């Protein structure tokens, strides 16, 4: 953990100096051999010697130039610290070499920043120098770090190099404070742009959700009007399609939105670390940056919240329609049960009727057999009356038949 916390130490230099930074987004699927080849050629051309190497930073330097290659999770930042003013011959040649390297790179940098450190006087505003650097563009200015430096910028990028220019008047900075200030300004620009990377996704979500939300509202309205199970099933399939699409958007944007929130938080922290105070007549740099960055961040937040709300609405609609389908199926099952119960009752009545006729029929045949037997006995000379004994035995036959029928039914039910 100690090596991770202190693996990227801040630079240290004195004014006058030039600090150039170029930040490139990392593409995990792309090869960066071309950029590395040009960077190695630049290192050789500037005759830089490697001082530090590691997983998070590489440092190369000579007497006049220091190159810091900072490796982050999503980007790489190349920081060139050039000693001397930008009008010095060595500084001018170094800046030209860096610009030539940048033009040979196929990948366009996310941010480019040029920070100039020069000695200054708190009581004097260098208007001619500022006009030479920024032209007629509106300036933003702040005293920073307990009024030890005064920062000037217009936030207009150079038309040729797409580079943000910052002018710093060193009032009482030391080498370490100069390094920390330069690092802080570079971080502010980097994290401001990284936070805005989610903005196109938020715009795409807002644009696509407008149509989908209308479709979802129409489906919800149709749920209360549907009485056909087949149509309800069709609506359920439509809702499932919307849910699949929304989850695709979620997987596509969740990381970017989370990263945007994290970068915005770092951006705010870096702004607070500037310890700004007002230069009379000029807008604070932090106020300008916050006002410029906040709409992008708010749009990303709104897009994420709208997508979350849309997914929740789909889930509620699916639950509502599923409940409606289950209720319809239960109603159909209840109707089937009522019909089956009615049929069972009719079958029971019919069965009891058949059993009654069966008892009568069996008793009839049994009494007939008894009659024939008694007549035969009477024929052979025994003194008995067949009709008398048939009349006596008929109730016994009926009772016995009824008991047997009940016994056989109970046995069948138990089996």
Average pLDDT over residues 16-39: 76
* % of residues, the chain, pLDDT over 90: 12
Which of the pair, 87 or 216, is modelled with greater confidence?
Answer: 216
Q: Rg of the Cα trace of the chain?
A: 46
Instruction: Indicate the average pLDDT of the chain.
Output: 82
Percentages of the chain per state (helix, strand, coil), in multiples of 5: 60, 15, 20
DSSP state at residue 380: T
Question: What element of type H or E holds 91?
Answer: helix 89-104
Letter string b/e over residues 36-47, b meaning 16 or more CB atoms within 10 A of that residue's CB: eebbeebbeebe
- Give the C-alpha distances (Å, rounded to integers) separating 61 from 14, 108, 109, 152, 174: 15, 25, 22, 28, 20
Q: Is the pLDDT of residue 42 over 90?
A: no
CA distance 122 to 150: 8
Convert the pLDDT of each residue in 194-213 to its tens digit.
998 888 888 888 888 888 88
The three-state secondary structure class of 211 is helix
- Band of residue 313 on the pLDDT scale cut at 50, 70, 90: confident
The string of pLDDT tens digits covering residues 114-161 is: 999 999 888 888 888 888 888 888 889 999 988 899 999 987 765 555
Average pLDDT of the residues in 181-202 = 90
How far is it, in rounded angstroms, from Cα 370 to Cα 259?
A: 103
pLDDT digits (tens, 9 = 90+) for 248-272: 888 888 888 888 999 999 999 999 9
The confidence band for 335, taking pLDDT boundaries of 50, 70 and 90, is confident
Under DSSP, the state recorded for 139 is P
Nearest-angstrom CA–CA distance, 84 and 378: 152
110-135 residues labelled b (16+ CB within 10 A) or e (exposed): bbbbbbbbbebeeeebbeeebeebbe
Cα 331 from Cα 227, distance rounded (Å) = 12
Distance between CA atoms of 314 and 220, rounded to whole angstroms?
A: 9
Confidence of residue 185 (pLDDT cuts 50, 70, 90): very high
Distance separating alpha carbons of residues 141 and 152, to the nearest angstrom: 5
pLDDT of residue 1: 44
Residues forming a β-bridge with 50: 60
Task: For 250-305, give the DSSP string.
Answer: HHHHHHHHHHHHHHHHHHHHHHHHT--EEPTTSB-HHHHHHHHHHHHHHHHHHHHH
Q: Which stretches of 86-163 are assigned E, i.e. beta strand? A: 111-119, 140-144, 149-153
Give the pLDDT confidence score for residue 269 in this predicted structure.
Answer: 92
Enumerate the H helices of 149-195 as residue ranges. 175-195
Angle at 28 between CA 24 and CA 31, to 5 degrees: 75
pLDDT surpasses 60 at 274:
yes
pTM comes to 0.74
What's the rounded Cα separation, in Å, for the pair 29 and 46? 31
pLDDT for 29: 57
Q: How far apart (Å, rounded) are the C-alpha atoms in residues 405 and 398?
A: 11
Residue 186 has what pLDDT? Answer: 93
Tokens for 350, please give them. Answer: 């019919």
- Quote the pLDDT of residue 37: 73
């Amino acid at each position: 953990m100690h090596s991770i916390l202190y693996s990227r130490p801040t630079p240290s230099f004195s004014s006058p100096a030039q600090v150039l930074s170029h930040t490139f987004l990392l593409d995990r699927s792309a090869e960066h051999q071309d950029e590395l080849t040009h960077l190695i050629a630049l290192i050789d051309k500037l005759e830089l010697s490697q001082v530090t190497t590691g997983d998070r930073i590489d440092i190369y330097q000579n007497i006049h130039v220091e190159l810091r290659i900072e490796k982050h999770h999503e980007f790489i930042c190349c920081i060139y610290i050039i000693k001397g003013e930008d009008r010095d011959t060595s500084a001018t040649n170094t800046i030209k070499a860096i610009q030539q390297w940048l033009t040979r790179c196929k990948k366009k940098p996310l941010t480019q920043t040029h920070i100039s450190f020069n000695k200054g006087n708190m009581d004097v505003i260098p208007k001619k120098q500022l006009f030479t650097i920024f032209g007629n563009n509106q300036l933003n200015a702040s005293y920073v770090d307990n009024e030890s430096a005064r920062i000037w910028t217009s936030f207009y990028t150079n038309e040729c190099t797409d580079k943000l220019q910052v002018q710093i008047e060193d009032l009482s900075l030391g080498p370490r404070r100069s390094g920390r200030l330069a690092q802080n300004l570079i971080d502010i620009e980097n994290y401001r742009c990284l936070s805005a990377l989610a903005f196109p996704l938020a715009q795409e979500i807002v644009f696509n959700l407008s149509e989908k939300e209308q479709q979802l509202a129409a489906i919800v309205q149709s749920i209360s009007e549907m009485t056909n199970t087949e149509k309800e099933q069709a609506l359920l399939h439509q809702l499932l399609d919307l849910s699949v699409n929304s989850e695709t958007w979620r997987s596509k944007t969740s990381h970017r939105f989370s990263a945007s929130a994290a970068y915005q938080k770092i951006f705010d922290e870096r702004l607070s670390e500037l310890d700004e105070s007002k230069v009379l007549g000029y807008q604070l740099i932090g106020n300008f940056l916050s006002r410029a960055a906040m709409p992008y961040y708010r749009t990303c937040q709104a897009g994420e919240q709208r997508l979350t709300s849309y997914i929740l609405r789909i889930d509620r609609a699916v639950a509502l329609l599923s409940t409606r389908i289950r209720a319809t199926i239960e109603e159909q099952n209840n109707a089937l049960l009522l019909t089956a119960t009615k049929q069972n009752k009719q079958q029971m009545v019919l069965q009891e009727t058949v059993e009654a006729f069966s008892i009568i029929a069996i008793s009839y045949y049994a009494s007939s057999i008894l009659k024939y037997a008694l007549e035969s006995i009477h024929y052979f000379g025994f003194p008995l009356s067949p009709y008398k004994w048939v009349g006596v035995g008929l109730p016994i036959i009926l009772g016995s038949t009824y008991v047997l029928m009940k016994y056989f039914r109970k046995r069948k039910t138990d089996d």
